[in-house]
Chains A and B, each alone.
Chain A
Amino acid sequence: MSKILEIENLTVSFGGFKALNNLNFSLDSGELRVIIGPNGAGKTTFLDVITGKVQPTKGRVLFKGKDLKKIPEYKISRMGIGRKFQTPRVYLNLTAKENLDLVCNRKKNVLPTLFGQSDHSEQRTVAGLLETIGLDKRANLLANLLSHGEKQRLEIGMLVAQSPDLLLVDEPAAGLTDEETENVGALLLSLAESHSIIAIEHDMEFVRQIANDKVTVLHQGALLCEGKMDEVQNDPRVIEVYLGEAPENIEH
């Protein structure tokens, strides 16, 4: 199976503090990978590097075999990486439909956007997506007025509208009720059929729901262990990191 994402010896340091330390990681295409790890383990920085928000200090990130160094975020996004943020970030002053329509736009340069209109296939995609994320009845409501869970779903919808090959999802279940969490989980699983996904999560219940493939544990910016959910759960190192004395706690 071909690798969609490969990360080699990745180090990121902020003025002496190593957020990521010599990290190696790879993802098969079509895989759904869950990343867990205590706070300050470098999970979000990990996504920042992949999406080009932060430049690696050392090492490299290969997406479909292409080095992502010095490529601006918007180009990385166009190459097929979509990202969902920790807190839902949708455009609050646009309606749900407009939110999706913006992302769905296939020609994202200035002039085509200015002169172009959304064509039929795009409109169909938007309508379909609205239904998938269960917001078809709220399509013309400002995103501002949506509930937290609806915003989470809208953002996932926006992600899909980009039609990326790799989805990066940062804590999709944060702040959701159990029922909503399960909905989002089901949504992710159905998306996993046609996308590669990296999901960062704290909620172990949720992780168990979606982690059919491997789970990766990050700790202090480095890879702690990797494997099936049960293996990881019983790994003494993981238990120590999560529950143990952790004398070298670097959280802040």
Chain B
Amino acid sequence: MSTLLEGLFNGISIGSVLLIAALGLAIIFGLMGVINLAHGELIMLGAYSTFVVQNIFKLFGDPWFDFYIIVAIPVAFVVSAAVGIILERGAIRFLYGRPLETLLATWGVSLILQQFVRSVSWLLVISLGIFCLLFFGGMQLVKSRTDWQRVKTKAIALLLPLGAAIAIAFYFLLSKNSALSTPWFSSRNVDVTAPAWLRGGTDALGFQIPYARLFIIGLTLLCLLGVYWFLQRSTWGLKIRSVTQNRTMSSCLGIPTAKVDALTFALGSGLAGIAGCAVSLLGSVGPNTGQNYIIDTFMVVVVGGVGNLLGAILAAMGIGILSYLIGSGTLALVLTNLKAPQSLLDFFFFFASSSMAKVMVFALIIIFLQIKPAGLFPQKGRTAEL
């Protein structure tokens, strides 16, 4: 019995991480019909932010270090949200109504972010700064001219390559300087040390419950409540919901849809950042961390249906628990104890590894979609499908 409980608990804690990540994805998808393939990288950025905050707190010494996680969560949220806004303003807003292209564009962003984390160094940051200064500064200068609209394209065509060329030249000139060009993280994984009060666990239900996992579950609940409150009770939440239901009408009523888009994207991305913070407590963090979570997160959205928090919760928990029960072999063990027929046992032992569990869970999802193609809570009405 306790093995099963333990399995359930671990499954729920996996599902919790998925849920925070999927919440962000689902909100964005619900509002703009955009699937953000860079969502995993936003998770990764959140995890790296936690790592950086942790390192800074290490400098302060012991009593302070224990509380770094309290600071890390908002920092992770803000970092990912900021990147999310840049992504939305810089690329996605040009692609509304073209979801498949958005998929490709966000994939491009995810590649860039992955490589950025691998090779980010002071030198790269400075070069980027130079580029931004040249390009955006130059654009500002040109903007003040009266014939701005006419020379816009020409200005971009001139400033973009020029700025890029100078920045790249700067980068290569100084790349021999090892102090500046040492990567901050490199491509190796980094480890986040949990604060003392999150290490260890308690033996409540006859098995070890790690505090870190309890913390993650608590964090998920907080996020859920926060998102629920924000969407249902705040003015901006109301605006987001109204744009979700009818973009054109909302725009006519004076709701600044562009702002709402950016805000939603920031919220969704920030949630990914918090998910990253949680992920960093579970294991080491690398540039590919996001990729490990992203597809499960997508599946949560597919199974849960769009625009329904309850659907996302159920789907995340279902996928988390199933993956863990099958993958860890818990299910197979429990069945052995129940003296199930040998063929059934063989079947479950065959899938008892985390990678084979993915195979099984995917098969189950496909079967599920045969019964409920639009997810657990499909949208109804004439507008649902065109």
A residues with a Cβ closer than 8 A to B are 14-15, 17, 19, 44-45, 48, 54
The number of A-B residue pairs with CB atoms under 8 Å apart is: 11
B341 within 8 A of A: no
Chain B residues positioned under 8 Å from A48 (CB to CB) = 382
Chain A residues positioned under 8 Å from B380 (CB to CB) = 14-15
A15 close to B381 (CB less than 8 A): yes
B residues with a Cβ closer than 8 A to A are 380-382
Give Cα A197 to B380, complex, Å.
Answer: 29
Chain A residues positioned under 8 Å from B382 (CB to CB) = 14, 19, 44-45, 48, 54
Cβ-closest 5 pairs across A and B: A14-B381, A14-B380, A15-B380, A45-B382, A44-B382
How near does chain A come to B248, taking the closest CB pair, in angstroms?
Answer: 14
Give Cα A19 to B383, complex, Å.
Answer: 13
Give Cα A44 to B381, complex, Å.
Answer: 12
Q: Which chain A residue lies CB-closest to B384?
A: A14
Give Cα A17 to B384, complex, Å.
Answer: 14
Give Cα A14 to B380, complex, Å.
Answer: 6
Give Cα A54 to B380, complex, Å.
Answer: 11
Chain B residues positioned under 8 Å from A54 (CB to CB) = 382
Give Cα A15 to B378, complex, Å.
Answer: 11
Chain B residues positioned under 8 Å from A15 (CB to CB) = 380-381
Chain A residues positioned under 8 Å from B381 (CB to CB) = 14-15, 17
How near does chain B come to A73, taking the closest CB pair, in angstroms?
Answer: 12
How near does chain A come to B100, taking the closest CB pair, in angstroms?
Answer: 16
How near does chain B come to A54, taking the closest CB pair, in angstroms?
Answer: 8
- New A-B contacts (8) at CB < 8 Å, excluding given A14-B381, A45-B382, A48-B382: A14-B380, A14-B382, A15-B380, A15-B381, A17-B381, A19-B382, A44-B382, A54-B382
Give Cα A19 to B381, complex, Å.
Answer: 9
Give Cα A45 to B381, complex, Å.
Answer: 9
Q: Which chain A residue lies CB-closest to B378?
A: A15
Q: Which chain B residue lies CB-closest to A19?
A: B382
5 contacts between A and B (CB under 8 A): A14-B380, A14-B381, A15-B381, A44-B382, A45-B382
Give Cα A54 to B386, complex, Å.
Answer: 12
Chain B residues positioned under 8 Å from A44 (CB to CB) = 382
Give Cα A143 to B132, complex, Å.
Answer: 45
Give Cα A44 to B382, complex, Å.
Answer: 9
Give Cα A111 to B248, complex, Å.
Answer: 42
Residue of A14, A17, A45, A48 with most chain B CB atoms under a 10 A cut-off: A14
Give Cα A15 to B308, complex, Å.
Answer: 14
How near does chain A come to B375, taking the closest CB pair, in angstroms?
Answer: 15
Chain B residues positioned under 8 Å from A14 (CB to CB) = 380-382
Give Cα A48 to B382, complex, Å.
Answer: 9
Give Cα A54 to B381, complex, Å.
Answer: 9
